Structure 1
Amino acid sequence: MAKTKKRGNGEGSIYKRGNKWYGLVTVGRDAEGKLVRKPASGSTKTEVAEKLREISQQYKGIDLKQASSYTVAEWVYFWLENYAKPQLEETSFNSYRYNLENHIVENFGHYKLTEITGMDIQVKYNQMFSDKEKYSSTTLKYVHNKFKLCLKQAVSNRMIAHNPCEGVLLPKARTAKKVQSMTVEEQQKLVEYCETDEYLNLFIFLVGTGMRIGEALGLTWDNVDLEERNIHIVKTMIEIHGNPSFKNCPKTDSGLRTIPMSKRVHQIVLDRRKAHRDLNHLNLVFFSSTYNFRTTANLRRLFQKTCDNAGIKQYNLHALRHTFATRMIEKDCNIKVLSAILGHKDIRTTLQTYTDALDAYKKEKMTEIDIFS
């Protein structure tokens, strides 16, 4: 009587169905003591056996009993508190927590840590990205990178064999919208409407400096040199769960920069210094009626109302920064200088963002300059 060949260690059970081979290998037990088995398939028995051996090897030393007791949500919160928090500044940690909580826990929190797959993540990312109002390619990339970092620690802790975020493809970025900037006439109307109102002159300040909204709202007097007429950008204002706070710019960040003040901008800042010296505990240049941070939501509503009252079409707040850049290009500002003032990491960002303004500038110069004369 022929003896049945005993399966090798890690080979698992293999069977054929139709023209394809399938297999299962036991890799351990979960928190409830149940066997955890992983599948494999292939065109030959040998191929499947090899895959099962690889799976068995991957799970060697994995603490499935501990890992299976965690859902993705539970692991995310554990990682945030015990791994991320000790390494991050408070504002950065709050950003990590906010994004993981509102995007990862919300969409993947119910999965078991040991059961979530790259396919699960890929399908859900595609669905998330279809929500154009909530997810830009930048937001999804940020969230994905933090989730990947979180699961990388689970791999290091031998709780899962591999990181399911590896190999996930982020959806292709949507075609970028053309930047909106005001015409010279619209800019003048805005300035005329705002210049007599010290609460609205922040909009003139933004057009005159090209600063980001958060940078202007987080600007404090210790970073303003009225004598040398310079503004030093070293921090910004961020909002987590609607709560504004300061966030320092990293020392290697291109956002860390100095912006010279024009005559009009200098006068705005000087007038505010004379009128509001030492009035707010945060030392802010631009503050609310309660001497606290002004929020972007309130500022957005105020700007929409201001556009109507000034008799110009509706623009978003970021158009003020774009208007600054467009005027600078029109006035022959060197593109490297402009890129540095805007705080772009790469001059290519400036070139790509302001393509239309640069094209118009080139056309104007070509009609002005005759190299044959």
Structure 2
Amino acid sequence: MRNPLVILRYVLHAFLLYLNILAMGFAAWNIAALKSAGIGVNGASAFVVFNACCFILYAGICLAEAYSPSLWNMKVMPECVWIGAFGFLQVASAIDITISGPTAACVPETSLSACASSSLVVVIVWISSSILLFYFFALVGITVVHVGSHPAVWASPISSVSWFTPEEKIQGHKSKDMEKGEYENPAFKADEAMSARPVSRTQVQSASRFSIMKGFTISAPRFQNAEGFRPAWAKDVNPRRGVDLPFAAKPKVPTVKDRLRSYWSASSTDSMPPVPPKAYTNTSRYLERLDANSDYVPDTGNELNLPVITPSPSRPLSYGIFPEDVQDPDVPIHTSHRSEWITAHDNRRPVQTIPPWNRF
């Protein structure tokens, strides 16, 4: 639906078009009557005809906009300029025809038609010019009022501006059009159909009874058996709740961490571990004879069976198999106080020079 101000604009243009057609007709009649009476034609009637022709052309284009907006879309600023120009031109022609029209035509020597046509032209031109000036000042004032809510109103088309419409209603109308316009969803139509359907009294009573009973009853689970929705690997696993993962309790970590002691330390074992057999690899090209009491054992390809320290989660990881009473070479050496360097030739003690031939 169009805005009421836009509709009023079309009505004013149509009425002014009608008045200017009458003014042009009466002015032409006045020119013909003056010629027949032998009186010289004044320029006032010709000026009225010129103004009427210009406004008829402009009003026709503006009225064609109502049927075909793509043909012509007048903006606010050009509308104010054109209407103001036509208004002041018609006021000038009305003053001119008032001064020179009836005074020259309404004399006893002239015919009655010349006097009547001059009087009608004066009345119609004054009415048309007054309506044009009223429309000009009204349009300028309304546009100035709407500058706060529509900053670009001067450069906007008249038919697209929301005249006298609050901003909240404009935003709500736009959002509703966006939802139901280009991206229309069938759900909106279904909601509208349900809201438009009348609700019977039995439906209201059943709905209220259902809501009351729902407050006193506990709804059953939606899926009674969830085994059909479990994957294949989950059906073979039967975890114990609270015992197996992911429900197992976290292990208790002691507040004081124990130090990891080596198996070779006397504080951790009562007796020394057995000495591992020494490995010997024969790298010689010749076979050597070994005594029976020799400590060499041929290399069998097996690694030495050294004690292995397995750290527990509650004990921190240490530096390997070093016991507590053995110095750890990975620990940095603590530096003592720094020594002071002195020069080779100190002034506090004499320097003795030995001849080269006495050094040996």
Question: Shared topology, TM-score over 0.5?
Answer: no
TM range (shorter): under 0.3
Is the radius of gyration larger for structure 1 or structure 2? 2
